[in-house]
A = this chain, B = another copy of it.
Amino acid sequence: MDHQFPKTVTRQELLFEDSDAKFRKLLYEITALADRVETMRATFARHFGITRPQYNILFYIAQHQRDVGLTTGQVATALRVSSPHVVQEVNQLVRVNLIEKSPNPDDGRSVLLRVSERGFVMIDDLAPTLRDVNDRLFQSLSKSEFDQLCTLVATILEDAEGVISKLPVD
């Protein structure tokens, strides 16, 4: 009658006093942390009068356009969303003059996306707030802890891709 939840991990390195509680807490906290980060982005987005996906697209382009800009497809692939979604959100950003579209001289089917002058003004306006928030978010980390965290997260993310590519179900 009184079921106990089965263990979700077997590696000894991940168990404490034979319990996977700490491991489950970590998994929960990783997703919770990502959720908080997206909450912050949603707040910044609202401050700009745009939505969270629009904010993510705008900032991705701002950080990765060089001189040439990015295509719709590049943005969709990088953010792991569909092209129609990028088209839809970018059109909203074009309407409020935060993104500019121009034809791709190398490919007549393609379009190049760049953040507008106004877009960069808004980003520059937000930057001090962003620095304040990020400094506080990572206030407790020493340089070596930051390095460790970067390495650990990168490693696990890589392993996650491998795991997903051959999930034993579905």
Residues of A within 8 A of B (CB): 2-3, 5-14, 22-27, 29-40, 43-44, 46-47, 62-63, 67, 80, 115, 120, 123-124, 126-127, 129-143, 145-146, 148-150, 152-157, 159-164, 167-170
Distance, CA A30 to CA B36, complexed state (A)? 11
Distance, CA A14 to CA B147, complexed state (A)? 9
Q: How near does chain B come to A74, taking the closest CB pair, in angstroms?
A: 15
* Contact for A157 among B2, B32, B164, CB less than 8 A: B32
Contacts A5-B123, A34-B33, A47-B170 known; A163 to B148 CB distance under 8 Å? Answer: no
Contacts A146-B14, A159-B138 known; A35 to B80 CB distance under 8 Å? Answer: yes
Q: How near does chain B come to A66, taking the closest CB pair, in angstroms?
A: 9
Q: Does A8 lie within 8 Å of B150, measured CB to CB?
A: no
Q: Does A43 lie within 8 Å of B169, measured CB to CB?
A: yes
